[in-house]
Amino acid sequence: MARARQTGSPALLGTWKLQAFTTEDLATGEKTELFGSHPGGYLNYSADQRMYAIVVEANRNAPADLVPTDAERIALFNGLCAYAGTWSVEGDLVSHHVDTSWNESWTGTIQLRRFRIDGKNLYIATLPARNPVTGKECISELAWVKVE
């Protein structure tokens, strides 16, 4: 029996701070902290069905000047994942309907995430997909804590 699509889940509402980001390479089983051991980031789900996610690599280096060199710009881009759009829930899946992103190949896509809430903690896992940073087929698991 198919579950009805919900426009949202009250438990997801609010702002969440990233605690951990682990990626598993499906070909090798190797797990890595793609954005370092202490990545930064926030995820927000609003009652008007808008959402945003921003994840940055731990210990990013600031450019020497306000205008980064090409090498600095590449390093900054490679340590970033950011997008925004609308969201909906069906069972334990949240769909991120991306209308703007750091990487235009994600704009216009639907990013499906499996989620679980445990008290003030939110656990999100991507479905198997090609990673936009490594290009490898992988699953990523992100742990978030509710901002209060």
**pLDDT (tens digit per residue) in 94-144:** 999 999 999 999 999 999 999 999 999 999 999 999 988 888 999 999 999
CATH of 10-146, one of 1.10.1200.10, 2.40.10.10, 2.40.128.490, 3.30.950.10: 2.40.128.490
Domain boundaries, the chain: 10-146
Query: Span 63-80, mean pLDDT?
Result: 92
pTM here is 0.89
What's residue 8's pLDDT? 64
**pLDDT (tens digit per residue) in 15-51:** 999 999 999 999 999 999 989 999 999 999 999 999 9
What's residue 2's pLDDT? 36
Distance in angstroms (rounded) separating the CA atoms of residues 80 and 43: 14
C-alpha Rg value of the chain to the nearest Å: 16
58, pLDDT greater than 60: yes
Q: For the chain, first and last CA: distance in Å? A: 37
Query: Span 65-82, mean pLDDT?
Result: 93
Q: Output the DSSP codes for 46-70.
A: -TTSEEEEEEE-TTPPPPSSSS--H
1, pLDDT greater than 50: no
